[in-house]
A and B are shown apart, each in its own frame.
Chain A
Amino acid sequence: MDVYEGLEGEKVLNLSRLNLDNLDLDDVGEERKRDTQQLFLVYNRFIMLPGSICHFSNLVFLDISCNRLAFICEDILRLSKLKTLVAKNNRLDEFSLPKDFGTMSLEVLNFSGNRFEEFPSEFLNLQRLQSLSLGGNRLKSIPAEIEQLTSGSKVLVYHGFRPECATKLYMQITVQLALQFSLMCNVILRHFSLIIQTQTDFTKLKHAALHILELLYLGGNSITSIPPELANLPYLSYLVLCDNRIQSIPPQLAQMNSLRSLSLHNNLLTYLPREILSLFQLQELSLRGNPLVVRFVKDMTYDPPSLLELAGRTVKSRNLPYKPEDLPGNLVRYLDLASKCPNPKCGGVYFDSCVRHIKFVDFCGKYRLPLMHYLCSPECSSPCSSNPQSDADSEDESSVPAHRMQKVLLG
């Protein structure tokens, strides 16, 4: 919902349902043009965003939904105070936007019900964007570059550091937070000059785009996979991917600690990654209309590990010391690829030979979700450490820690 609340009277101009195909502002006084903060042009016949719109110099909210918009002209860039743009149910695609669209200060953007086939790269430069809706379009994929949409608000925590701590501080923060420092540099250069000197990658950081994104609505498209980079949006709390063609969820999504609501219904998922259990903030999870397996038939044809694998496992699990000079380069690289068995009681590792195992776990108000993980061998038992009662028919709530109990609400 993009409802702009609280304004009345002179600040709102409603020109909806007037059969308009051009915006003749002769009848609108200069004062009205200056004072208007919300403009509604819904249900008209505009094919292009009218250039005269830039006369509303203080416009904050624009809704031009349900027209025939195929093109947004450059004049929109002159609306320097525009925070919300709603253009649902039009004919826009990735070629409809002006070149410098990414320089706008938009916080809320709703382009649902249009004809986007590709995620417009201009969106990735919108540094203030908090909410993005592209539902009901024709998107086939989500670009990996989406991780550029990260938050800027947390940098204030570091605002009051002392210069002597600067180097140490820089070592501790992630690249993303370092990117945010470079944005703050333009505002409070003195405090951060020390940080700039210690940053070796400053030139690279300077050109990266920074954004805030909390809501991403991509339901009703033709997306087949989710890039793991989506997990690098640290403030994303509402992610909608329903009504697409997604076959699997990358385990990296489990890093999204801010995720509160995840919509995955009507896709092609057969299981979920076990890592999803670590989304402790998750309160809403929709999974209906996915071909989730109800029963998992253990794969009886387990390919026994090769001699190489067995040797590698022994070296790793017994911590046999070796130096890179001791072994041929290809074997050193092979040993580096060892994966730890997820079973916390098993100190083992595996390389290529592992067993896929599905465990049915109650999670987030859902009953017996099939969670996939890998084990080093068929004899190894699966961990599912967060829910020790997972094989039981009903969840024993006393064993589920309080912070994992989820609100289950219904109407």
Chain B
Amino acid sequence: MEQTEVMKPETLNDLIKVLHQIFSSDTVNVEEVQNLMESYESKPEEWMEYAQFDKFRYTRNLVDEGNGKFNLMILCWGEGHGSSIHDHTDSHCFMKLLQGQLKETLFEWPDHKINGGMTKKSERVLQENQCAYIHDSIGLHRVENVSHTEPAVSLHLYSPQFDQCNTFDQRTGHRNTVKMTFWSKYGERTPFTYYCGKHIVKVALCVQ
């Protein structure tokens, strides 16, 4: 039975609890999840421990593994940080702004019959607390913090979980499979896993 009323989650922990409930069933109601995530009003003190920035590039910080049904993570974007154009390995992807703004540019899947760059579909700037949704059936996207003065923080939910995806070169449509890593998990920095190109090179540092 579907819930006819969705309670507004007051805290991040409330949100996670309700997400666990929703994802305990086998089907995902995209609108329900999107509305739920959007209704949580961001409170920095609740997610600050996960908001670990890197000066060189954006970071992915795992918050919850959703009983294996989803990954919930917080991404931290310094000024000017942006992602490649990428797909989502056939998973649902929800992205909610917790702080600052992010520009999302949608692209069509590359068409090899067309010589030249990838086709831009649309772009928008997501505001605080807004929640966007994307799936491979909609297209590909690039996410960037275009601000030169403000960092941005976003909350992402991916279901099912995935740890690799494709990146696309905008000029040529050329694709590359990449593995994704976490900067931190559950608030703890996890630095010792590296990926080189297409290969996983896990470097386990033994502490003597």
A residues contacting B by CB (< 8 A) are 1, 3, 88-89, 112-113, 133, 135-136, 215, 217, 219-220, 237-238, 240, 242-243, 260-261, 263, 265, 283-284, 286, 288, 292, 294, 365-368, 395, 397, 402, 405-411
Contacts and interface: CB of A to CB of B under 8 A. Distances in A.
B53 A3 contact: yes
A260 B56 contact: yes
Contacts, number: 101
A177 B58 CA distance: 34
Interface residues of B, number: 40
Contact of B178 (A240, A288, A395, A410): A410
Contact of A220 (B57, B148, B176): B148
Contact of B180 (A366, A405, A410): A410
Contacts of A237: 56
A91 to B, nearest CB: 14
Contact of A397 (B58, B79, B181, B197): B197
A240 B167 CA distance: 22
Interface stretch (B11-19, B23-31, B80-88, B125-133): B80-88
> Which of A113, A365, A366, A409 counts the most B-chain CB atoms under 10 A from its CB?
A409
B122 interface: no
The 7 A-B residue pairs whose C-beta atoms are closest, nearest first, are A135-B148, A136-B148, A220-B148, A113-B149, A261-B56, A405-B196, A367-B169
Contacts of A1: 53, 55, 78, 151
23 contacts: A1-B53, A1-B78, A1-B151, A3-B53, A112-B148, A112-B149, A217-B148, A240-B79, A240-B80, A261-B57, A263-B80, A284-B57, A288-B142, A288-B170, A294-B172, A367-B169, A367-B174, A405-B196, A406-B196, A408-B167, A409-B57, A409-B195, A411-B83
B75 interface: yes
Nearest to A393: B174
Contacts of B47: none
Contacts of B96: none
Given A112-B79, A135-B80, A406 B116 contact: no
A96 B46 CA distance: 39
